[in-house]
Amino acid sequence: MKNFKNNFKSPRERLLEEIRKRVPVEPDSEDENNQSISDTSTSFEKISQVESCSELTNLDETHSTWKYIVIVLSTVVSLLCLGLLVWLTLYITGWRKSTPISKLPFWNSEVGYWVDVFAFKDSNGDLVGDLNGFLSEVNYIKGVIGSGFVILGPITKGFYSNPHNMIGLVEDYEELDEAVGTINDFRHLLRRFHEKDLKVVLTFDFNSVSIDHKWIKEDRIKPKLFDNSLKNKISRYGKSPSVDIYAQKYYSVFGSPSVDLDLTDINTQNAIFDVVHYWMREGIDGILLDNAAYFVEQEERQETQKKVFSCPQAEETYTYGSVKFIEKVRQEIDKWMKTSGKKVLLGVNAGDTWCDLTGRPDPMLIFREVADVIIIREFLPNRGCKENFPTTKNLTCKYHSYQDAYKQKLGLTVSTSSFPSRKDVLSLAASLLLPGIPIIYYGAELGMASLNRGRRPEKLYPQGKSYHNEDLLDYGSILSHQPMPWDTSGQRFSGAINDSSFKDYVKKNIKSEVVENVVGRQCEQTVYDLVQRLINLRQNPTFKSGTMEELSSFKDYEKYYYGVFVRRAPGFPTFVIVLMRYTTSNFVLDFRYICSSVSVRLVYPSIPNLPANNELRCPEIHIVNRTLSNQIIVLQCN
């Protein structure tokens, strides 16, 4: 008990006890004892005065300071524990289920802009677009459109400038076409785009090369041999599929003067890998492989031969041989990323395959495990078929059948380098609002649609040329390569235009506004304004990485040809999307079981009783249509 009490003595008492120990007390008598006590008291008083004025005071002050330190530390620890508890609660309840936007690759967090550089803008007066002209519009791409990466169509040697008066050939993968500029022009463009935080992706067609390609002349690679099983076929564009090179017959899916490469040959593969590494060393941010559907075609049996190859079946193309080749390209890119620490995109595009979709899911999904981005054709006219096949009422019918994990790899676009746009605003809105990677093909932001196959600008790019010498009346891929309509006069496309040629082209070929008429105008009824608002909406994390659900409760309205979807992401606002085809009917959409109240974020075209940026306490939407038009509505749950 004594020790217990001693443990609880105050610091002052302990010091006094220590002082007593320092002063010896040895009394011989009572007087001496009294004197000693008196002396001790005197000594104690003297020492006490000194100690109490210095050490004791300091000790009390030190003890008081420690009390405050303990209080502060206790408060900090308590706050840390509380914060940890809150974080664990949010984590367990799913707040962190969505990938942080900052961690997403650029292709999953940005909108792409796909460009034919030859058709975009001319800087040197030859009426053909080039790299310097493209660079001069970087502010339009980044600041006005709001894109985060660009996909450049093929720009290597031979694509435009070749002795065969056609578009689409390749004579050298490591040199640029003389019409587009020099390698120094490209390096300057790449540097400037990176300064603007714009990524640059290049397109390569490794399916076929020109018979004038340096690999053919140097006998470096192995073209695909032509055998008798193909003798009854014709090429993709109606020509013979055989090509004679040095008295040997080779195969060509597009016909002479191109020849298909044998992508199963190791020497050919190594030559292609050298090309991939060359451009990655130059600093590009990604590669899009075009005509991937034809890379390794299935060898046909005698009983399954077809006389016409213009409409191939999926079992003839989209083979696992093509998957294996792209997987090897993937491995080369992965090696580069490991050593450089830089993310590099690998995308695939089917190319011009005519009508291989019809009512089936897009067979491009065969590449889902080896590519980062797969250009699918769900929102192209007739789903990528150039004949008028019947289309379903719901424009997203096939899209909904895909697994959610695959949707994040789907490149969503309404036009490609082979399929021109048809100005379908519902498809355009779907490509920007549904899960996937939105890619705007140049001109689509204006509603650009080249509908006149028989008219090609003779003075302007493509200056009368066609894609692989295709017959325009039957095919029309060249309609995806029309000059960008910057203005009516054409002066912004090329300063060398001094006649009415561009004005005539815009009037007869382009069914859209020109850039100068829509940029800077506050007009909510243009496709351009719609695209800008959709891209702004897409900056919300819900659209970048959230889930999508089609609301089956609205099936009663199928006669209106529309879809209703909900986009959700834990910790972020929920959005309801309504896409409705032509109707003048009035009806009610009730979202009370989804949201307690909603804010109207977008209405296109405008509806008098549903103003944008307006909060509705009752999420019951009365649709009043007075004109026959498509309708796009985006609501945000409050």
597 and 616 in a single domain? The answer is yes
Report the pLDDT value the prediction gives residue 560, as an integer from 0 to 100: 53
337-to-106, 163, 202 alpha-carbon distances in Å: 15, 38, 17
- The number of residues making up the chain comes to 638
493 and 577 in a single domain? The answer is no
- Name the more confident of 57 and 262: 262
562 and 520 in a single domain? The answer is no
470 and 549 in a single domain? The answer is no
Mean pLDDT of 573-580: 90
CATH number at residue 152: 3.20.20.80
Residue 136: pLDDT band by 50, 70, 90 thresholds? very high
Q: Do 525 and 605 contact (CB within 8 A), yes or no?
A: yes
Residue 56 lies in a domain: no
Burial 551-562 (b: 16+ CB within 10 A, else e): beebeebeebbb
Q: Which residues contact 314 (CB under 8 A, 6 or more apart)?
A: 356, 360, 363
- State what percent of residues in the chain have pLDDT above 90: 44
Q: Of 483, 513, 535, which marks where a domain is finished?
A: 535
509 and 572 in a single domain? The answer is no
3-class secondary-structure state, position 258: strand
Residue 12 lies in a domain: no
Domain that holds residue 616: 545-637
**How many Å from the N-terminal Cα to the C-terminal Cα in the chain?**
67
Residue 9 lies in a domain: no
Q: Which residues contact 418 (CB under 8 A, 6 or more apart)?
A: 351, 352, 353, 467, 477, 480
Report the pLDDT value the prediction gives residue 394, as an integer from 0 to 100: 56
Report the pLDDT value the prediction gives residue 377, as an integer from 0 to 100: 87
Residue 336 lies in a domain: yes
- Mean pLDDT over the full length of the chain: 80
- Residue 378, token pair as written in the block: 């769900």
Task: Please classify residue 258 by burial: count the beta carbons closer than 10 Å to its beta carbon, then call 0-12 exposed, 13-18 middle and 19+ buried.
Answer: buried
- State what percent of residues in the chain have pLDDT above 70: 74
423 and 551 in a single domain? The answer is no
Residue 34 lies in a domain: no
The closest of 68, 76, 189, 196 to 142, measured between CA atoms, is 196
CATH number at residue 606: 2.60.40.1180
Residue 384 lies in a domain: yes
Check whether 49 has a pLDDT greater than 50. no
Residue 398: pLDDT band by 50, 70, 90 thresholds? confident
Q: On the CB side of 573, how many CA atoms lie within 13 Å of its CA? A: 19
Mean pLDDT of 439-462: 79
**Largest CA-CA distance found in the chain, in angstroms, rounded:** 140
Residue 469: left if φ>0, alpha if ψ -120 to 50, beta else—which one? Answer: left
Report the pLDDT value the prediction gives residue 14, as an integer from 0 to 100: 59
3-class secondary-structure state, position 347: strand
Check whether 36 has a pLDDT greater than 50. no
Residue 420 lies in a domain: yes
The closest of 451, 409, 406, 400 to 430, measured between CA atoms, is 400
Report the pLDDT value the prediction gives residue 87, as an integer from 0 to 100: 63
Check whether 209 has a pLDDT greater than 70. yes
Q: Which residues contact 471 (CB under 8 A, 6 or more apart)?
A: 237, 238
Strand 286-289, strand 345-348: pairing: parallel
Report the pLDDT value the prediction gives residue 13, as an integer from 0 to 100: 60
3-class secondary-structure state, position 287: strand
- Residue 523, token pair as written in the block: 């007009």
512 and 456 in a single domain? The answer is yes
- Name the more confident of 559 and 260: 260
Report the pLDDT value the prediction gives residue 246, as an integer from 0 to 100: 86
Strands of 551-618, DSSP E: 562-568, 575-583, 587-590, 598-604, 615-616
pLDDT digits (tens, 9 = 90+) for 228-242: 777 667 777 777 888
375 and 436 in a single domain? The answer is yes
Domain count, the chain: 2
Mean pLDDT of 378-394: 63
Give CA–CA dist 140/117, Å, rounded: 14
Q: Of 508, 535, 562, which marks where a domain is finished?
A: 535
464 and 341 in a single domain? The answer is yes
Looking up tokens 């006890």, which residue turns up?
A: 17
Between helix 30-53 and helix 11-22 the angle, nearest 10°, is 130
- Name the more confident of 53 and 80: 80
The closest of 279, 72, 258 to 174, measured between CA atoms, is 279
508 and 550 in a single domain? The answer is no
Q: Do 131 and 185 contact (CB within 8 A), yes or no?
A: yes
- Residue 266, token pair as written in the block: 């190791």
Check whether 313 has a pLDDT greater than 60. no
Q: Of 504, 535, 566, which marks where a domain is finished?
A: 535
Report the pLDDT value the prediction gives residue 305, as an integer from 0 to 100: 38
Check whether 16 has a pLDDT greater than 70. no
> How far is C-alpha 112 from the geometric centre of its chain's CA atoms?
6
457 and 398 in a single domain? The answer is yes
344 and 448 in a single domain? The answer is yes
pLDDT digits (tens, 9 = 90+) for 154-171: 999 999 999 998 999 999
Check whether 173 has a pLDDT greater than 70. yes
Residue 446: left if φ>0, alpha if ψ -120 to 50, beta else—which one? Answer: alpha
Residue 14 lies in a domain: no
